[in-house]
Amino acid sequence: MNSSLFKEVFQLFKFIQDLFLGVQKLLMPPKAFSWQTFIYLSVFSWGSSYFATGSIKNIIALTGWGFLIAGTAWYTTDDPLRVPGTFMPVGALLTGFLVSVFAFGHQENVITTRTIVFWPTIAAIITAIPEFFVGTGTSTKAAIPKLETRQKIIILIAWSMLISCWIQFYFVIDKWLKEYPSLSADNFQRSTFVIRLEPKTKRPENGNVILNKIQPLIVEQIEDRAWSEVERWLLEANQQVGNLGKNMINKNLNKYEEKGLWRIEPRVVNVESGYRLDILSIWQGPSTNPRGFYLQKSCRIQPVAAVKTPENKNAVAGIECDRNSRFFLGSPPPQQ
């Protein structure tokens, strides 16, 4: 019994010893001058910078970045795994990312737009740099690569710069759609570089918001007013609706760059029982359709019988508006 217990304790200690030796082998650099040493120095530098202040903190952090980039580059080039179809080591992508973060990141946001855009180009440059040196260790010297190698370097850098341009183009389009969200309502079926994932054309929300904000104000100015006053109001509809539109645009679209590209106009149409007031939200910005597009919400205005009192013996106006606006491609109808 004691022998069995002693054997189990011995196996447990043997397991702990092997585990410790494995961790030690993984973490302990095989020699002082190795990639692990640079990584440890980078961790030590960042830890030290936490307790430093002022310019000393920045210098220590800068040194840490240098150690991290050097250690990563060394580790990933010992036995490089190539990106399929190129002679770029996968490690160059990792090192290029670290260099890009170091060059274009900041404390508030480590990964910025520039970090992503310049990443492929920096990785290609890092891949090309060793081709301009020959030899190993202390006997390394600069040399012009062979013609075949120069061609591969030029093609790799050119492709990487093209990828950077396409990534930058994506961010530009994304910024436009944030500042001018109504552009997303356009039709990009004939575009060779913009792909719409939604199956249908999306209604421009900002134009719709303005119509929904204006509608209750118009109803308030017309409903239950004397019919003669409403007819005078309709004669001045361009000014009345135009002023309401400007106020609503300034109030609700102030955070968007596209606020100056919307225009609100009315269209008054005589119908058999009264009038139809069409409120148009017209887009004046760029569009794949040369005639643009607009949204329309219609209100029907009719005289209704009023309760006859000594003060009011005339008909008053009633108004009923559509719940939803309609989207139209093309120029708005002319004013009458």
Q: The whole model's pTM is what? A: 0.61
Residue 194, pLDDT above cutoff 80 = no
Handedness of CA 170, 176, 177, 182 (dihedral sign): negative
pLDDT tens per residue, range 52-109: 777 777 787 778 777 777 777 766 666 566 766 676 777 788 888 888 888 887 766 7
So what's the pLDDT on residue 168?
92
* Count of helix runs (H) and strand runs (E) in the chain: 9, 7
So what's the pLDDT on residue 11?
66
So what's the pLDDT on residue 141?
76
Closest of 68, 128, 127 to residue 98, by C-alpha:
68
So what's the pLDDT on residue 177?
75
Please give the helix or strand (H or E) that residue 213 lies within, else none.
Answer: helix 205-222
Exposure of 72 by Cβ count < 10 A (0-12 exposed, 13-18 middle, 19+ buried)?
buried
Asked if residue 65 lies in contact with residue 44, where contact means CB atoms within 8 angstroms, the answer is no
pLDDT tens per residue, range 226-257: 888 888 998 888 888 888 988 888 888 888 87
Q: Which percentage of the chain shows pLDDT scores above 90? A: 10
Residues 6+ apart with CB under 8 A from 240: 221, 233, 266
Residue 133, pLDDT above cutoff 70 = yes
Task: Considering only residues 83 and 26, tell me which one the structure prediction assigns the higher pLDDT.
Answer: 83
Average of per-residue pLDDT values in the chain = 78
Closest of 211, 201, 194 to residue 299, by C-alpha:
211
- Mean pLDDT value across residues 28-32: 61
So what's the pLDDT on residue 199?
46
Maximum mean pLDDT: which of 7-11, 194-198, 270-274: 270-274
Closest of 67, 23, 25 to residue 43, by C-alpha:
67
Residue 191, pLDDT above cutoff 80 = no
Exposure of 110 by Cβ count < 10 A (0-12 exposed, 13-18 middle, 19+ buried)?
exposed
- Mean pLDDT value across residues 196-219: 75
Count of C-beta atoms within a 10 Å radius of residue 218: 22
Instruction: Give dist(CA 261, CA 264) in Å, integer.
Output: 10
Instruction: Give dist(CA 133, CA 116) in Å, integer.
Output: 28
